Chains A and B, each alone.
Chain A
Amino acid sequence: MPLTTTLKVYDHDETPPGTWPVFRVMDEDGSLREPKVGQSYIDTHAPTLDKAHAIKMFRTMARLSQMDHIFLNAQRQGRISFYMSSQGEEAVHIGSSTALDLKDTIFAQYRETGVLMWRGFTMDQFADQCFSNKGDLGKGRQMPVHYGSRALNWHTISSPLTTQLPQAAGAAMAMKLKAKREGKDRSDGVAVCYFGDGAASEGDFHAAMNFAATLETPVIFFCRNNGFAISTPVKDQYRGDGIVSRAKGYGMYGIRVDGNDLFAVHAATAKAKEIALSENRPVLLETMSYRVGHHSTSDDSTRYRSTDEIKKWTEEDNPIDRFQRYCEGRGWLDDEMVAQIMDEERMKVLQALEKAEKKGPPDLSTLFDDIYKEKTPELVRQEEALLEHVAKYPEKYQGGGH
């Protein structure tokens, strides 16, 4: 795919001829492709990119990386039952999240942990959800990695793929209506909907694109094209030019970005947001990256790809390394600092893990809450029967491991 240093979000009547180009600011070695041009994106779009901010971004990527490593191991040790990592997509997460704020409402799939992390979800909150303990905001109801946070404007993750896309179109519609009601000429924020290259095959993708375009809503459809849908490589998932090429068919804006380039992801996301807010039109944004890890702890990706391929991406085109080299070039990081940050983040993750493991499960009495706003007589009856039964056999119903 051709690379470009020009940040252009294409409207449907001016789509690029041939393969859509990939917007990139920074090369694998951390140097800017076209220093003046690249610097201008960093200066204009990054919220005051000074050393402190850069280190904060690096630290967050480090924490995500440590969390993936430690929680994967925790699953293998039988301490949590399931986990999904984001290895290889750290720049996609932090790059996009830094261009958004809490007024933007987020829908995600399951591999966007870093986005939520940057928004302020704490390690304790992540760990509580994975252990489904009494601290879990989801009250122990969902599998691990199904995070949700009303406070951080992040819709709880739902297992079935792509259902979040029409929902995001609806949320954007709600934001547009709210702005109208308040006499504002733009919404307070956009809806951002993350999904993968495989999810884009579901029928809901088509419906959502069409809704968003015909209803003219401020939503960014953010496709993380990481090359795989469990074992299905993209060459078997579609025949067109990735996902972004479909934008034209729906009359939408589109842009394709190098997902391993933190600055490019950030700049593109910021631009997409501005377009969506000022024009009340959806944007299809596609990041190109590589899923370094397995699909989940229930998958062994060496069944369908070579370890050489995985190694190559880990060593030669690693998003964390790329940003690290840029920071080293600016004199903001060195080996010692990096090692220290990694160590500190590792400790944070371990502490959260151990703390969460010790917390007990949610109270059984919450089981029948939240099905309806007010419990129906039927539910009250079932609840009474249940609590009576549990009281009769307390030793069988102590909270317990998974």
Chain B
Amino acid sequence: NAKDVIKGGRAAVNYVRNTGPAILQVHTYRFNGHSPADPEHERGRKDEKKWARKEQDPIKIFEDDVVKRGVITEEELAEAKKAVQKQVKEAVAFAEESPMPPVELAKELEFPDAPDTDYNQREGPAWADDFNKKTISPDKMETIQAHIKALRAKSDAGDLSIGDAINLAIHEEMLRDPTTTMHAEDLQAGSSYDIPKLTQQTYGQIRAADEIIDEGHFIGKALGEGMNGYRPIVELMNTNFGIYGMAEISSAGNTFATTGGKFDMPMTIIGAGGTAPNQSLGAEHSQPFHAYVMGIPGLKIGTAASPAAAYGITKSMIRDDGPTFLFAPVKMMKEARGSVDLGRCLPLNRAELLHKASDEAVKNGKAVTVLTYLHGVKEAQNSLQAINDEGLDIDLIELRSLKPLDLPTIASSLSRTHKVVILDESTYSGGVGATISAIISESLFDSLDAPVKRLCMDDAPVPYASSMEKAVVKRGEDLEVAVAEIVMKRY
């Protein structure tokens, strides 16, 4: 009964506007099957449906009522029905006659911001300062400015950790754009690596919320915020728990395209994860979630193995208008120390050449391109000396952007070395290394003098016992061997 729905609905809406959340349960009747694919022949609902159409038809109830009360006449109703039918017929004809969407549209709807966007050119909202003055008390502002200053001093001293670098980026962006929000479990206690440190104390409990335990669904909640004018940052205590949120992350990736480009959804997910030699966290804290989400369309995926990368990429990801996911190496969050390029956003489609092989090594055919990311970066850097001692050298490229992949940087290196080894923190079946290996073989085959060598995890759950973990997770020693063997043409 439409009148009851209006009355009940108004009461519920009024309650929600003034007091809190409510559940409105409306009882109706489903006349047909779930969809045309469900004719319900076998369910014996014929008599039931006859009764429903006779007694439970809301339109019929409405019409009988208004005619009885003389509010609208039978003729007026007939007129209205005719007009509506005409409208619907015209709409159908319009749809049938309209041309199909152009083929290029799919690519255009992949990301709201092009892969090569320079986020340094983005202006923050003009009203930010005013808003901050109104919402952050003077002594809270003093505290946070002191905190930012202290972190910047650490950066200048080359002593900023990855966790702190991300925290610095987050505060800069939350002050620059007050539509930015922060979500994490144990947020007010700083979570595990101080990524959300001081956010709740500065911006309040609504903008920096302590999440109840439901990773999947607080990602979904952030999705809702993101589609409605906010920039949510979600920290996963460990990216393994992001698995709960696969449905939501997939949804996030789909949002821009499936809404026809009408809804931006600027969510940034940040988490420490991956696996490292002697990580000792067992299978369920060592899964390569970055590999699992690689196939999700619309998602920009980045990795950072240094404070500099973490800081610059976090800033860009927050400013990007689509869903982005930054992975950091769980065992390096506090140990890796360095400086950051203060105030600068890094591109989201670039790999970084961390070490260039000497021209001599290249000339003598003793240089190899090494592609890696997360803990692999530390492993490779620690192996550089041993590699050089063998008379070999490497172009060490950190894949800071897993998606979109920076093929030009890889191509440029391969055009010098013609040999590539991937130190990969994904499994043999599926994952990052497999994807890159395939892409290289398909598009850079002519640059290759040897098959692509992939050092990846075996298809076994990462064991906890360190003696076994050592065997599954590839490391510096394996890289040294692989580099030597590819140069000696042993494959």
Within 8 A of B (CB), among A220-275: 229-232, 236-238
Q: How far is the CB of B84 from chain A (nearest CB, A)?
A: 40
Given contacts A160-B284, A201-B214, A382-B459, contact A396 B477 (CB under 8 A): yes
Q: Tell me whether A137 is interfacial, beta carbon within 8 Å.
A: no
CA distance A396 to B480 in the complex (A): 14
Q: Which of chain B's residues have a CB closer than 8 A to the CB of A162? A: 213
Task: Compute how far the CA of A237 lies from the CA of B468 in the bound complex, rounded to whole angstroms.
Answer: 38
CB distance from A378 to the nearest CB of B (A): 7
Whether a CB of chain A sits under 8 angstroms from the CB of B212 is yes
Chain B residues near A201 (CB-CB < 8 A): 212-214
Closest to A229 in B: B213
B282 close to A400 (CB less than 8 A): no
Across the interface, name the chain B residue whose C-beta is closest to A136. Answer: B465
Does A161 touch B at the CB level, under 8 Å?
A: yes
Task: Judge if A203 is at the interface, Cβ distance under 8 Å.
Answer: yes
- With A201-B212, A203-B214, A238-B212 already in contact, the answer to whether A230 and B186 are too (CB < 8 A) is yes
**B-side interface residues toward A, CB under 8 Å?**
185-186, 188-190, 192, 210, 212-214, 216-217, 240-241, 243-244, 278, 280-285, 428-429, 458-461, 463-468, 470-472, 477
30 residue pairs from A and B, CB less than 8 Å apart: A81-B280, A132-B464, A133-B465, A140-B463, A140-B468, A142-B283, A160-B241, A161-B213, A198-B213, A202-B213, A202-B216, A203-B244, A229-B212, A231-B188, A232-B185, A232-B210, A232-B212, A237-B213, A361-B467, A364-B467, A364-B468, A368-B460, A378-B429, A379-B459, A382-B458, A396-B470, A397-B471, A400-B466, A402-B280, A402-B466
Pairwise interchain contact B210-A236, C-beta atoms closer than 8 A: yes
Are A160 and B465 in touch, CB under 8 angstroms? no
From the candidates A203, A238, A362, name the one contacting B216 in the complex (CB within 8 A).
A203
A15-B368 Cα distance, complex, nearest whole Å: 71
With A364-B467, A400-B466 known as contacts, the answer to whether A142 contacts B282 (CB < 8 A) is: yes
A372 and B281 alpha carbons, distance in the complex (Å)? 22
- Pairwise interchain contact B460-A367, C-beta atoms closer than 8 A: yes
Residue A120, interface by CB 8 Å: no
Contacts of A402 in B (CB 8 A): 278, 280, 466
Are B244 and A160 closer than 8 Å at their CB atoms?
Answer: yes
Considering only residues 278-319 of chain A, those with a C-beta below 8 Å from chain B are 298, 303-304
Closest A residue to B215 by beta carbon equals A202
CA distance A198 to B241 in the complex (A): 15
Contact with B along A192-227 (1 / 0, CB 8 A): 000000110111000000000000000000000000
Query: Shortest beta-carbon distance, B192 to chain A, in Å?
Result: 8
In the complex, the answer to whether A367 meets B464 with C-beta atoms within 8 Å is no
A339 interfacial contact with B, CB 8 Å: no
The distance in angstroms between the C-alpha atoms of A340 and B179, with both chains bound, is 63
Residues of A within 8 A of B465 (CB): 132-133, 136, 140-141, 361-362
Identify the interface centre among A81, A141, A303, A362: most chain B CB within 10 Å of its CB: A141
A303 to chain B, nearest CB (A): 5
The A interface is mostly helix, strand or loop, or mixed, namely loop
Tell which of B213, B281, B461 touches A371, judged by Cβ atoms closer than 8 Å.
Answer: B461
Q: In the complex, what residues of B have CB within 8 A of residue A399's CB? A: 467
| Alpha-carbon gap, A229 to B282, bound state (A) | 21
Q: Is the CB of B464 within 8 A of A143?
A: yes
Instruction: Note all chain B residues with C-beta closer than 8 A to A81.
Output: 280
Once the chains bind, are A141 and B461 in contact (CB under 8 Å)?
yes
How many residues on the A side are at the interface (Cβ–Cβ under 8 A)?
A: 50
Q: Which residues of A contact B428 (CB under 8 A)?
A: 378, 382
Give the residue of A199, A303, A366, A397 whose beta carbon is less than 8 angstroms from that of B470: A397
User: Any chain B CB within 8 A of the CB of A122?
Assistant: no
A398's nearest neighbour on chain B, judged by CB, is B467
Q: Does A159 sit within 8 A of B, measured CB to CB?
A: yes
> Which of B282, B428, B465 counts the most chain A CB atoms within 10 A?
B465
- Given the known interface contacts A203-B217, A367-B472, A399-B467, the answer about A141 and B282 at a Cβ–Cβ threshold of 8 Å is yes
Asked if A390 is at the interface of the complex by the 8 Å CB criterion, the answer is yes
Docked Cα-Cα span, A398 to B461, in Å, equals 21
Contact A159–B284 (Cβ < 8 Å)? yes
A401 within 8 A of B: yes
A residues adjacent to B (C-beta < 8 A)? 81-82, 132-133, 136, 140-143, 146, 158-162, 198-199, 201-203, 229-232, 236-238, 298, 303-304, 361-362, 364, 366-368, 371, 378-379, 382, 386, 390, 393, 396-402
Measured in the bound complex, the distance between the Cα atoms of B471 and A390 in whole Å is 8
Contact check, A367 vs B471: say whether CB atoms are below 8 A apart.
yes
Interface contact B244-A202, CB-CB below 8 Å: yes
B460 and A371: CB pair below 8 A?
yes
Q: Within the assembled complex, what's the spacing in Å between the Cα atoms of A286 and B114?
A: 52
Residues of chain A contacted by B186 (CB below 8 angstroms)? 230-232
* A109 to B217 Cα, complex, angstroms: 20
Q: A143-B282, A203-B217, A367-B468 are in contact. List 10 more A-B contacts (CB 8 A).
A: A160-B241, A160-B243, A162-B213, A203-B244, A236-B212, A361-B468, A364-B467, A368-B460, A382-B459, A401-B466
- Closest 8 pairs between A and B when the two form their complex, measured CB to CB: A140-B465, A159-B284, A143-B282, A231-B189, A201-B212, A132-B465, A361-B467, A399-B467
Q: A140-B468, A367-B471 are in contact. Are A146 and B213 (CB under 8 A)?
A: no
Give chain A nearest CB distance to B62 CB in angstroms.
33
Residues in chain B near residue A142, CB distance under 8 A: 282-284, 464
Give Cα A390–Cα B463 distance, bound, in whole angstroms: 17
**Within the assembled complex, what's the spacing in Å between the Cα atoms of A396 and B476?**
12
CA distance A401 to B464 in the complex (A): 11
A378, B210: Cβ atoms closer than 8 Å: no
Distance in angstroms from A134 CB to nearest chain B CB is: 9
Chain A residues within 8 Å of B459, by CB: 371, 378-379, 382
Q: Which B residues lie within 8 Å of A298 (CB)?
A: 192
Query: Which of B189, B216, B217, B282 is close to A159, meaning CB atoms less than 8 Å apart?
Result: B282
Q: With A202-B244, A203-B217, A378-B428 in contact, do A386 and B283 touch (Cβ < 8 Å)?
A: no
Please tell me if the beta carbons of B471 and A386 are within 8 angstroms of each other in the complex: yes
- The answer to whether B464 and A159 touch across the interface, beta carbons within 8 angstroms, is no
**Once bound together, how far apart are the Cα atoms of A383 and B370, in whole Å?**
25
Which residues on the A side are within 8 Å of B463 (C-beta)?
140-141, 367
Provide the residues of chain A in CB contact with B188, threshold 8 Å.
Answer: 231, 304
- CA of A323 to CA of B466 in the docked complex: distance in angstroms? 41
B212 / chain A contacts, CB cutoff of 8 Å: 198, 201, 229, 232, 236-238
Complex alpha-carbon distance, A132 and B465, angstroms: 6
Contacts of A378 in B (CB 8 A): 428-429, 459
> What are the residues of chain B within 8 A of A368 when measuring CB–CB?
458, 460
* Cα separation A298 to B282 with both chains bound (whole Å): 15
* Chain A positions within 8 Å of B461 at CB level: 141, 371
> Do A303 and B189 have beta carbons less than 8 Å apart?
yes
Chain B neighbourhood of A361, CB < 8 A: 465-468
Contacts of B429 in A (CB 8 A): 378
Find A143's partner among B244, B280, B470, B477 (CB 8 Å cutoff): B280
Q: Which B residues touch A238, using CB under 8 A?
A: 212
> Once the chains are docked, how many angstroms separate the CA of A271 from the CA of B41?
46
Residues of B within 8 A of A401 (CB): 466
Distance A400 CA – B469 CA, assembled complex (angstroms): 11
Asked if residues A386 and B458 are in contact (CB atoms below 8 Å), the reply is: yes
In the complex, what residue of chain A is closest to B477 when comparing beta carbons? Answer: A396
Pairwise interchain contact B468-A362, C-beta atoms closer than 8 A: yes
Per the bound structure, the CA–CA distance linking A186 and B395 in Å amounts to: 68
The docked-state distance in angstroms from the alpha carbon of A268 to that of B174 is 50
Q: In the assembled complex, which residues on chain A have CB atoms less than 8 Å from the CB atom of B460?
A: 367-368, 371, 379
A236 to B186, CA, bound (A): 10
Distance between Cα atoms of A240 and B129 in the complex (Å): 39
Cα–Cα distance between A393 and B470 once the two chains are bound (Å): 13
A201, chain B: closest CB distance, angstroms: 4
Closest to B189 in A: A231
**Nearest-Cβ distance from residue B20 to partner chain A, whole angstroms:** 9
- The answer on a CB contact under 8 Å between B477 and A141 is no
CB distance from B101 to the nearest CB of A (A): 35
Give complex CA distance A162, B471 in Å.
Answer: 31
